[in-house]
Amino acid sequence: MATTTAGGTFALKAAPSTKTYYRVRFASTDTYEGCVSSVIWVMPRAKVSTPVAPKVMYHSSSRTVYGYLWPRHTTHSPVRIYRWRLVSGHWRAYGYVTPAVHSYSSYSKYSLSMHLSHVGTWRLRAYAPADSGHAAAWSSGYDYVKVK
């Protein structure tokens, strides 16, 4: 329930966890005729954490990189980890890898045994592509790794 202003506007507070449709119905009064709005849909963003990687890795071995995704996702590939390496003062993109995702009660955990083949400084960032219930979202930051 919400009350409209004299100009007919109103506010509705809602925090859906997946794509949600709303339709607003205005009740009639002695002065105004009632009506129903068209359908309005809200597409919230998933929340994906910044990947967690060891601060130092070795180019000859793999190490586990992990993070979290809210709310719980059951789609096949809900997360990508993008990789960049610092080359001559510029970040060079090395594409992304798709980690395994395991669902828990209200969230999912993503993890991957990652191999960074070149020596130097790397940065990693997680991305959750759009799906039927959520808009696309990037992690809030990068994790930096030194490869020896």
Domain ranges (residues) in the chain: 47-147
Nearest to 124 by CA among 139, 105, 106, 107: 139
Vertex 142: Cα angle to 89 and 111 (nearest 5) = 125
Cβ pair 148, 119 in contact under 8 A? yes
Distance between CA atoms of 43 and 131, rounded to whole angstroms?
10
Q: Which amino acid is at 37?
A: S
Report pLDDT digits (tens) over 48-91. 999 999 999 999 999 999 999 988 877 667 899 999 999 999 99
Mean per-residue pLDDT of the chain: 87
List the structure tokens of 69: 């995704």
Global confidence as pTM: 0.76
pLDDT tier for residue 130 given thresholds of 50, 70 and 90: confident
Fold (CATH) for 47-147: Immunoglobulin-like (2.60.40)
pLDDT of residue 1: 61
Of 3-12, 23-32, 121-130, give the lowest mean pLDDT range: 3-12
